[in-house]
Structure 1
């Protein structure tokens, strides 16, 4: 568990390991869902239709880069609802 401190202005700074876990970097957005019993859930906001959200989405760390044919097939599969 990570403990954070609230400033006098009501601000909280997320620790580096939390940001890495969420996969966010400066300029990205984080969504906060308020839950019952004084709890909240954080998640990274990912653009759904933006090109920025697609770039790099097929790459998996430790695997080789995909060929253009493989990328095109992934696009076709996505439009067909297979992914």
Structure 2
């Protein structure tokens, strides 16, 4: 288990052992989740939705107009 302290500005340092396990580097975003029992889960956001572009292969093409659910 690793430990850190929150300073007067509400900041803390992620312990080196945790950074290594999560592959956290400068600029990595951390997602904080408070569970119903009060425990906290911290995840390193490792991918952008943009990184998934092209990962699904299809031959179907849909025009922008066809995506509009309010068309008449």
TM-score (norm 1): 0.54
Give distance in 1, aligned partners of 2:9 and 2:38: 19
Give deviations 1:27-50, integer Å, cap 9, x for gaps.
Answer: 111111111233111111121223
How many equivalent pairs are there? 56
- Between the aligned partners of 2:3 and 2:44, the Cα distance in structure 1 is 19
Alpha carbon RMSD of aligned pairs, Å? 2.3
Please state which structure has a larger fraction of its residues in helix.
1
* Whole-angstrom CA distance in 2 between matches of 1:11 and 1:37: 24
Scaled by the length of structure 2, the TM-score of the pair is 0.61
Q: Deviations over 1:22-80 (max 9, x none)?
A: 11200111111111233111111121223xx89xxxxxxxxxxxxxxxxxxxx7xx425
State how 1:4-83 maps to structure 2 within 5 Å: 4-45=4-45, 46-50=47-51, 78-80=55-57
Say which one has the larger Rg.
2
The 4+ residue runs of structure 1 with deviation greater than 4 A are: none
Provide structure 2 residue ranges, at least 5 long, that are not aligned to the other structure.
58-72
Separation of aligned partners in 2, 1:36 and 1:13 = 25
